[in-house]
């Protein structure tokens, strides 16, 4: 069953920092604490070049997928969700250093867009979040798991380690850059009756910056987020 876009509730949307709710993609399953492995993730500092933006794609085995772009330099972000047949369900764009939110949805085949400004407190929280590297966060999460190496290879002249871990009834296989320790691709499997069933694939990239990613080419209806209804 495909997801259905719901017209945003401005009061609710304005009462949370949107980016905190957007970044749910790669921590779906609860994990037990595990001891550190002998495989050591590279400790080198990772910095996103100013000319690049971060990109994560989550491809689900049912055909649906999500795309996530973060522009650290200009403090803006976009998150798209697509159905199994490739139809856009929802697009959320956060610009103006975390203050402006644009929500685009598919309403019975017609794309409609709404925009509003977040209250000051939430905008400041978004501003902080937008300064953080998504790829570095992924690298840091790898350090909390016990890994063993499958093999090493070269991908576009980049030395890659393929590592894996198993926890509860799940298995992760990650390709990561040997030099930076940043993941390139992650496959997640669910283990049922001894069989491994792939759930999703996540890919991580640095792309050339493009302002077109954050532009909207359809009519946008401006609505007001009522700051007085927010409970701090």
Tell me the average pLDDT across 196-202: 97
What is the structure's pLDDT at 226?
63
What is the structure's pLDDT at 144?
83
> Exposure of 51 by Cβ count < 10 A (0-12 exposed, 13-18 middle, 19+ buried)?
exposed
What is the structure's pLDDT at 7?
57
Domains of the chain and CATH, by start: 10-26+36-229 (2.50.20)
In this predicted model, which residue has the larger pLDDT, 90 or 49?
90
What is the structure's pLDDT at 38?
74
> Exposure of 194 by Cβ count < 10 A (0-12 exposed, 13-18 middle, 19+ buried)?
exposed
In this predicted model, which residue has the larger pLDDT, 195 or 1?
195
- pTM of the full predicted structure? 0.83
Q: For residue 92, what are the contacts with CB-CB under 8 A and spacing of at least 6?
A: 18, 22, 78, 79, 101, 102, 103, 104
Give 107-163 pLDDT, tens digit per residue: 888 999 999 999 999 999 999 999 999 999 999 999 888 899 999 999 999 999 999
What is the structure's pLDDT at 22?
52
């Amino acid at each position: 069953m495909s997801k259905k876009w719901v017209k945003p509730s401005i009061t609710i949307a304005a009462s949370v920092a949107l980016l905190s709710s957007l970044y749910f993609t790669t921590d779906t399953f609860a994990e037990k604490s595990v001891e550190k492995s002998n495989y050591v993730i590279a400790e080198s500092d990772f910095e996103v070049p100013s000319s690049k933006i971060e990109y994560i794609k989550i491809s689900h085995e049912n055909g649906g997928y999500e795309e996530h772009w973060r522009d650290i330099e200009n403090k803006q972000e976009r998150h798209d969700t697509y159905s199994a047949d490739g139809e856009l369900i929802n697009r959320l764009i956060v610009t103006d250093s975390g203050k402006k939110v644009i929500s685009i949805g598919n309403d019975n085949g017609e794309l409609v867009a709404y925009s509003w400004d977040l209250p000051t407190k939430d905008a400041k929280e978004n501003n902080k979040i937008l300064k953080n590297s998504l790829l570095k966060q992924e690298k840091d999460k790898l350090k909390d798991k016990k890994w063993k190496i499958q093999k090493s290879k070269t991908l576009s002249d980049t030395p890659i380690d393929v590592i894996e871990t198993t926890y509860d009834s799940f298995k992760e296989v990650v390709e990561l850059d040997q030099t930076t320790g940043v993941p390139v691709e992650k496959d997640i499997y669910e283990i049922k009756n001894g069989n491994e069933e792939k759930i999703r694939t996540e890919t991580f990239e640095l792309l050339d910056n493009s302002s077109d990613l954050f532009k909207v080419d359809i009519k946008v209806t401006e609505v007001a987020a009522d700051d007085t209804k927010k409970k701090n």
